[in-house]
Chain A
Amino acid sequence: MIEVRGIKKSFGDQEVLKGIDMQLQRGQCNLIIGSSGSGKTVLLKSIVGLVKPDAGQVLLDGRDWTGMPERERKVLRQEMGMVFQASALFTSLTVEENVRFPLDFFSTMPLSEKNARIAFCLDRVRIPQSALRKNTAELSGGMQKRVAIARAIALNPKYLFCDEPNSGLDPETSVVIDQLIQELTREFGMTTVVNTHDMNSVLEIGDHVVLLRHGYKVWEGSGPEILKATDQEVVDYVFVSALFKKVREALG
């Protein structure tokens, strides 16, 4: 479980996060949603440790991540996997080398076990054998995301973070990526945190959804519940597109 307590962050005069509290459960897909500039990327980066919050705490299964000395943080980082918006695959490496990378750095496994683990991860995200030696730049956006997921789960992490995993993907591939994230979350019992704009993801995999607006948490619930929510903040965010207006009408 990830517990976020009173996280605040400012950049100069601009207060981006104004005290966020939330609990993100293990084995669930926890989605952070909100319009651009609402603070969700900064919140995710604060949880991951890429941004240092000005105030507040992040607890990873009770361990104070924000107040931890760097040496201990380094060890704990091996329990984290992250999928970036643009995949962030190492372009100088092949598909296989990208997945091997964290294993070479942090695992003491013998080579045969490493190879087996790489084969398992790539197979799990349905990357064909023919793609293993390819450079990551040769892959489609959806394949790159899948390789990024394979790399993120290589060390069998407890926490999986995904920053807009569907960005730039067609609707069909987005659903595939969403389902993959959900399957892996259940299979490995990870605490998964997904930053997204995509309302389809909210409905598809949103076990727990947090809506941010102007640096505040304004709503919290499950994916299906969001369609029934009457809070003005939710209505303003969710029911702006023609499709969701029709969904709302259909729901009465």
Chain B
Amino acid sequence: MLNGFFLGLGSYFLFLGSVLRRPESWREFGKSLMREIELLGLSSIPLVIFISLFMGAVLTIQTAINLDDPFIPDLFIGVAVREGIVLEFSPTIVSLILAGKVGSNISSSLGAMRVTEQMDALQVMGINPAGYLVLPKIAACLMFFPVLIIFSIGMGLLGGYLAGDWLQMVNPDYFLMGYFDEFNPFFVVYALTKTVFFAFIISSISAWYGFNVKGGAVEVGKASTKAVVAMSFTIILFNYILTNVMLQ
């Protein structure tokens, strides 16, 4: 099993070597990049908005219930919700959700291209399929995931505020003050740094699984499932490592 893991790891780095090369045509790369930003990034905005709004709301309700004490001002609830969203929910949980949506899309689309010989067709033409197909996906994720996470932070904070106000669980003015109280901008840098790492993990691991599919439609599905599991493990592991490195 350990042998298989190291063989897979070696194959993954060799794959990265063939992906991270100068594109054959910058014009085609630009076109592919725009397509991927639309497919992987813009199309994820509704999902991110929906999840973030409601998770922000849930976070406010749970925090308000747990800190329901006359000696704890609502300002602290606002601080707790803000830190929860900025530090963990938006960069990590949303990335895990994107691993499911974007990652499975990448692995299944590449897997389908592999089993229908579209990658062989590229190779016969003299085009490096890894570079042509995967590099724009990685670049699109690296560029657009931070935008999605900033969006998610904004929507999470909005959802939290709206829920607190609507359910009358907090004083909205004090709660809002909590959002701005002793705000540490480094936490946003930390969140975005994690996001960039996770974007690379999601796009490259899912691409590697999709790229190496052998067989037919069933194997494409299996590769997609394996990719999501591997991405989730790796994100959780790197979340711990990055937190240890950046926040200690």
The reply to whether A85 and B117 form a contact with Cβ atoms under 8 Å apart is yes
- Cα–Cα, bound, A90→B124 (Å): 14
The reply to whether B118 and A88 form a contact with Cβ atoms under 8 Å apart is yes
Q: Interface residues of A toward B: which range?
A: 20 to 34
- Cα–Cα, bound, A85→B124 (Å): 14
Q: Which of A49, A86, A104 contacts B28 (CB 8 A)?
A: A104
- The answer to whether A104 and B121 touch (CB under 8 A), given A74-B126, A88-B116, is no
- Cα–Cα, bound, A109→B123 (Å): 22
The reply to whether A50 and B116 form a contact with Cβ atoms under 8 Å apart is no
Cβ–Cβ < 8 Å partners of A91 in chain B = 112, 116, 118
The reply to whether A90 and B120 form a contact with Cβ atoms under 8 Å apart is no
- The answer to whether A50 and B124 touch (CB under 8 A), given A86-B117, A88-B116, is yes
The reply to whether B121 and A84 form a contact with Cβ atoms under 8 Å apart is yes
- The answer to whether A84 and B117 touch (CB under 8 A), given A104-B28, A105-B24, is yes
- The answer to whether A82 and B121 touch (CB under 8 A), given A88-B116, A105-B25, A105-B28, is yes
Is A102 located at the chain interface by the 8 A CB criterion? Answer: yes
Cβ–Cβ < 8 Å partners of B127 in chain A = 105
- Cα–Cα, bound, A48→B117 (Å): 14
The reply to whether A105 and B125 form a contact with Cβ atoms under 8 Å apart is yes
> How far does the Cβ of B122 sit from chain A's closest Cβ, in whole Å?
9
- Cα–Cα, bound, A73→B27 (Å): 22
Is A80 located at the chain interface by the 8 A CB criterion? Answer: yes
- Cα–Cα, bound, A48→B123 (Å): 10
Is A126 located at the chain interface by the 8 A CB criterion? Answer: no
Main secondary structure of the interface of A (DSSP, over half): mixed
Q: Quick one: which of B24, B112, B126 has the most chain A CB within 10 A?
A: B126
- Cα–Cα, bound, A155→B124 (Å): 13
| B 117-143 to A, binary, CB cutoff 8 A, 1 in contact else 0 | 110110111110000000000000000
The reply to whether B124 and A48 form a contact with Cβ atoms under 8 Å apart is yes
The reply to whether B120 and A88 form a contact with Cβ atoms under 8 Å apart is yes
- The answer to whether A84 and B120 touch (CB under 8 A), given A104-B25, A105-B25, A105-B28, is yes
Closest to B119 in A: A88
Closest to B109 in A: A92
> How far does the Cβ of B115 sit from chain A's closest Cβ, in whole Å?
9
Residues of chain A touching chain B, judged by Cβ–Cβ distance below 8 Å, are: 48-50, 73-75, 77-78, 80, 82, 84-86, 88-92, 101-102, 104-106, 161
Told that A49-B123, A106-B125, A106-B126 touch, could you supply 16 new A-B pairs with CB distance under 8 A? A77-B125, A77-B126, A80-B124, A82-B120, A84-B120, A88-B116, A88-B117, A88-B118, A88-B121, A89-B118, A90-B118, A91-B112, A92-B35, A104-B28, A105-B25, A105-B127
Task: Show 8 residue pairs from A and B whose CB-CB distance is below 8 angstroms, ordered by the A residue.
Answer: A73-B126, A78-B126, A82-B120, A82-B121, A86-B116, A86-B117, A105-B24, A105-B28
Q: Which 5 A-B pairs have the closest CB atoms?
A: A77-B126, A88-B117, A88-B121, A74-B126, A84-B117
